Amino acid sequence: MISRIGQWLVLVLFVACIAMAAILIRTRQRAHDRLEAPLTSSVPLSQTPDEPRVSVTLMMPDDKTGSLDPISETLALPQDESARAQALIDQLIASWRAPGSPHPIKASAGVDSVFLMPVPGEPGSQLAIVNFDAAFPLAQPSGIEPETLTLLSIIQTLHENIPSITEVRFLVNGQPGATLAGHADLMRTYLAESTVPGSKS
C-alpha cells in the first residue's frame, strides 16, 4: 500500500516533468526562431532604397598587373555590419562579372553569407567568416595569381570599409575547403594587416 505522502510526491514529480517538457519545447522553438530570423528578412541583406547612401572603396584586382586598385563607389548599405559586409562583397563580385573586368569571373556565383564574430583577446577586432556558395570555386579562374587576388581583394575591401574586421576566414558551401580553386590555401585565417598584393616588374 502506497502512503498518502508517496502518492502526492509521485503526482508532484509528474507535474514537474510535464512543466519541464513544456519549457524545453518552448525554449527550443524560440532558439529556432532566433536562428532563422536573419533569413526571414528581419535584416536586409541587400541594399535598399531607404538606407543612406555612403561612399565605399572597393579594392579591384587586376590580373595583368597583379595589383589591387581602389575604386570609389556610392552604395546604400544596411546598418547591420554583417549585412554591410555581405553587401560590399556582393558589389565587388558584381564588378568582377561586368564586361571588360580586369579580374573576370563567371556569372551566377557569389557569397552565401558573411558572419562577424569578436576576435578572442583583441577587443574591438572582428573575424569575418565569408561563406562562398558551391558554384564560386568553379566560376573562379584557377591559378595562384587569380585566386590570391580574389582573396586579397575581399580581405582588403572589408578591412578598408569596416576597419574593425582584422581577420578573415573562408568557407565553401558552409564547409572548410583545402583550396579556393586548386591553389590558394583556405585552411588558414587571413590577417588583413599582413596581406599585401604583388608588384610588377
Partner 1 sequence: MYPPAVRSLSRKRSCVSAFHSIPARPRMRFADFFRCAALAACFFLVLAVSAQRVNNTHPMFQTVSPLGAASNFVVVIDAAHGGSDLGARLSPALDEKTVTLALARRLRSLLAAHGISVVMTRTGDTALPMATRAGIANHAHAAACLILHATDSGVGVHLFTSSLSPAPRPEIPAWGTAQAGYIHQSVRLSSDVDAAFIHTTVPVIVGRTFLQPLDNLTCPALAIELAPKPSSTLTSAKSVDNPGYQSTVLNAIVTGILQWQQDWSHQP
CA atoms of 182 and 177, how far apart (whole Å): 10
Which pairing describes strands 111-118 and 67-76: parallel, antiparallel, or unpaired? Answer: unpaired
> Hey, which residues does 175 pair with through a beta bridge?
172
Grid coordinates standing for 82? 554583417
Binds partner 1 (CB under 8 A): choice among 96, 132, 170, 190: 190
Tell me whether residue 79 or residue 189 sits nearer to partner 1 (CB atom): 189
CB under 8 Å to 164, separation ≥6 — which residues? Answer: 81, 124, 125, 126
Binds partner 1 (CB under 8 A): choice among 129, 143, 160, 164: 143
The mark string for 61-100 relative to partner 1 (x by CB under 8 A, - otherwise) is --xxxx----------------------------------
177 sits near partner 1 (criterion: CB under 8 A): no
- Alpha helices per DSSP H over 37-178: 81-97, 136-139, 144-161
Stretch of 31-39, 76-84, 85-93, 190-198 contacting partner 1, by CB under 8 A: 190-198
Stretch of 106-114, 129-137, 159-167, 184-192 contacting partner 1, by CB under 8 A: 184-192
